[in-house]
Structure 1
Amino acid sequence: MRHSLFFIAILLFAQSCANHPTVISEDVEALSFGEITKDKKMPSADIISEIRYIPLETTDNAMLMDIQDIRIDSGLFFILDSQPGLFVFDSLGVFKNTIGRKGNGPGEYIHIYSFYIDRNNKQVGVMDNYKRKTLKYDYEGNYLGEISYAEAMLFPFTTEMTSDNILLCHYPIPSGYMDSPYEYQLLKENDEQYEIVEDIVNYRIKNPTGLMSGSNKTISYSKERMLFAPHFSTMIYAVKGQKIVPEYQVATSKEVGGDLFFKSNEEKDYFDLSKEMANQNLFTGINKIIETDQYLLLLTEHQYTCIWDKELKKGIRFDGTVNNLNYHELLMASSFHATDNHYVIGYSTPPYFLDKKEDIEKNTDNNLKKLIADLTEDSNPVILIYTLKTNIIDTFLPKQ
């Protein structure tokens, strides 16, 4: 079994004991964002050209409580809910079927921690950390079999499968029973068990913290490309075949934490450590990655929304509210995921719309009016499909 260590520290944290300015590697594309100040007026129409609203059908077999994650393929929404359960809806929001069921028998899961879509074979993999197995189903929910975790695998927090059928696992921050230096692992199937292709070592936190904040979604799959970002990092990596390569680096005027800083703060948990980094004006990392055909969208430091035009190689960064629509929330919601086209996917709960019923009824959007007329407090969430404008960067940068 090929089992090598890929030390992100070599590229990402090749640093002295002291904190130091960000040094952009020559081998990656630097993401340098033009700043949009808080008082700059940013009409939402300059960012989003269309929002489609898809209410998810509410049935006795599909009553969602709290959406944890959304994946998309072949016109289907695969939705992981905290019930727990994994539900499939079509492009109109019509409920199709569930994936698996809770239990301890064959084809049943004890708890779904994460799942992935095998787009090549039209299968769903459900990660059951209690059983230490992945249960496989087709898109209609028929059980196909299982594969055991490798001995060195821990409890994946997020999983994604590449077009080469390589699985990328993201682990939560170490906590007591999950203590490990590995932040990510690349895996491939080998008979009935996973084989570890690459271990990605990056952790600098020792204090138990439980699971990471749900606002972090540091893996993006779009257009047969997978990107990911380690904690407290300016780097973004791509999975290409069975290799990990540096792809982008966020340019920031802030310093990056050095070994001495992390050593002196090793007893702090993730949240307290992030606060201390902010207090010392250190870069606290990339919290979300979403990629479309044209754009790379990032949430950095739990605060800044960054939009990078991949063709123009220019970007903007802003902090604040845009016409009463907070675009941080668009990027921070843990369920958001980019498709392989020019839109991003999110959701809102019925109370969000019902609280704004008066304003919506005055709106000229007939689709929105129809939506609010049919919603109740007990309805399932509404999927939102945002189509981004193609000239976002040129619209804002000349105004600087």
Structure 2
Amino acid sequence: MCKQKPQTDGAIFVDLDRPEKVSLFDYFRSIELIPLETSSDVLIAGIMKMIVYQDKYYALDKNQCIIFVFDETGKFLYKIGKRGQGVGEYVFIEDFNINPFSGKLEILEPYGKVHVYDLSGNYIEIKQITFPGFRIAHTLAAIDEQTHVFHTMFEPEKIIYFNLDEQKLLHQEFKENRRLSSFSNNPYQYRGDWFFFRPVHPIVYKMGSRKLEAAFRFDFGTYTREGKTAVFSKESERSLSKCVEELFDQFPYLIHSVRHNSKYVFASLSRIDLEDKVNVIYDRASGKSKYISEFTEKVQFNSYRGEEIIVTDEYVLMPCQWVDLEKRITKEMLDSKQKEIFEKLLKSEMEENPILIKYWFK
């Protein structure tokens, strides 16, 4: 019988040759469904990012460039959608956040504009990212009252520390092969800190006040790669399938998602020999990880269509498209009240807005 490698070096060892089958209820005590209100005026194509703030859900529909706001029960409150080229309008939303230091909502346009609104969507001001060599930013995070960190997929250095008020570049770092950025992952937030991870690089970084700091790392044994460089053909620049093929020729895994809290580290991976994503759950108390090929409930527990997952110390919150609900949940997983909601959703004759699935930890 294989034994897990000791965690003495602080790394999270994951045995990719030893898949396991576990139950979601090994980790969660109950599951709650929160359908987001659907009407002719409130139709969401898909949620690419969600923020929970002051008992409200702020949901970004990137295709429509609209931020929909719901209360904690899923009732629609209002939307922020001011697309255009006039004052107080934006052309495109690449990312958005609620700045914890100012209490303002910030919308990122990729080519260097940060639009600032109050939490009701009233325009306040616009700020610029300007310095020699800047071209594009894909995510933003407020680190402190003076510092934002921007992440770019395509530039040689992926992380930009910048003072928006003083229009001052503070620091750039993390060089990586440009083609690997095709599989880029967005930073995520936990307890006010921001964390940055990459598709094949094994280290997860905390965005410190002045630079990246290693938070934790994965050890995939002989499969571990440094993951900052790769070799791709010119053909791969024209063909995503060719790029994926060449990626898996060099790396045995692709990291799609990482999240953590005080008890667990969650990750989802792709393997070339598996059709679906697989899960890794690391238990901080035991110091052991499970490489999960399938849950006993036979459902998916990962970012199925690229939706952003939120992990707190109390729950995991996962947006789910209405058409995918039965891939995520079975009736047997729910209590009587939640079964009624589940069955009502399945009986709907028209497509519903996404449902928030809330997994409450034990």
- TM-score with structure 1 setting the length: 0.75
Pairwise CA distance, 1:310: 3.2
Which residue of the other structure, out of 183, 198, 208, is the alignment partner of 2:171? 198
Pairwise CA distance, 1:54: 0.8
Where do 5+ consecutive residues of structure 2 fail to align?
1-7, 272-276
Equivalences for residues 187-266 of structure 1 within 5 A? 187-191=162-166, 193=167, 195-205=168-178, 212-213=182-183, 217-252=185-220, 253-256=222-225, 262-263=230-231, 265=233
Do residues 46 (structure 1) and 15 (structure 2) align?
Answer: no
8 Å contact from structure 1 (residues 103, 109) kept in 2 = yes
Pairwise CA distance, 1:116: 1.6
Which residue of the other structure, out of 39, 49, 56, is the alignment partner of 1:59? 39
Pairwise CA distance, 1:128: 1.7
Distance in 1 (CA, whole Å) between partners of 2:151 and 2:227 is 23
Matched residue, 2:274: none
Equivalences for residues 280-295 of structure 1 within 5 A? 280=250, 282-295=251-264
Q: 1:164 to 1:52 in 2, by over 3 A?
A: farther
Pairwise CA distance, 1:267: 6.1
Do residues 185 (structure 1) and 157 (structure 2) align?
Answer: no
Distance in 2 (CA, whole Å) between partners of 1:92 and 1:48 is 21
8 Å contact from structure 2 (residues 108, 114) kept in 1 = yes
Aligned length: 343
Distance in 1 (CA, whole Å) between partners of 2:140 and 2:48 is 13
Which residue of the other structure, out of 67, 89, 105, is the alignment partner of 2:86? 105
Distance in 2 (CA, whole Å) between partners of 1:246 and 1:362 is 37
Which residue of the other structure, out of 90, 105, 118, is the alignment partner of 1:124? 105
Report the 3-state secondary structure (helix = DSSP H, G, I; strand = E; otherwise coil) of the residue aligned with 1:262: coil
Pairwise CA distance, 1:382: 0.8
Matched residue, 2:310: 338
Pairwise CA distance, 1:126: 0.6
8 Å contact from structure 1 (residues 36, 319) kept in 2 = no
Equivalences for residues 47-196 of structure 1 within 5 A? 47-81=27-61, 82-129=63-110, 132-151=112-131, 152-162=133-143, 166-172=147-153, 174=154, 180-191=155-166, 193=167, 195-196=168-169
Q: 1:36 to 1:335 in 2, by over 3 A?
A: same
Matched residue, 2:344: 373
Q: 1:41 to 1:378 in 2, by over 3 A?
A: closer
Distance in 1 (CA, whole Å) between partners of 2:199 and 2:328 is 37
Task: Write the deviation string for residues 259-306 of structure 1: whole angstroms up to 9, x where unpaired.
Answer: 9x83565763476444334235x3545321212232221223464422
Provide runs of 4+ in structure 1 moved above 6 Å.
Answer: 354-357
| Residue identity (%) | 17
Distance in 1 (CA, whole Å) between partners of 2:194 and 2:328 is 37
- RMSD (CA atoms): 3.2
Pairwise CA distance, 1:371: 4.2
Where do 5+ consecutive residues of structure 1 fail to align?
1-25, 175-179, 390-400
Distance in 2 (CA, whole Å) between partners of 1:323 and 1:49 is 14
8 Å contact from structure 2 (residues 232, 243) kept in 1 = no
Q: 1:256 to 1:35 in 2, by over 3 A?
A: closer
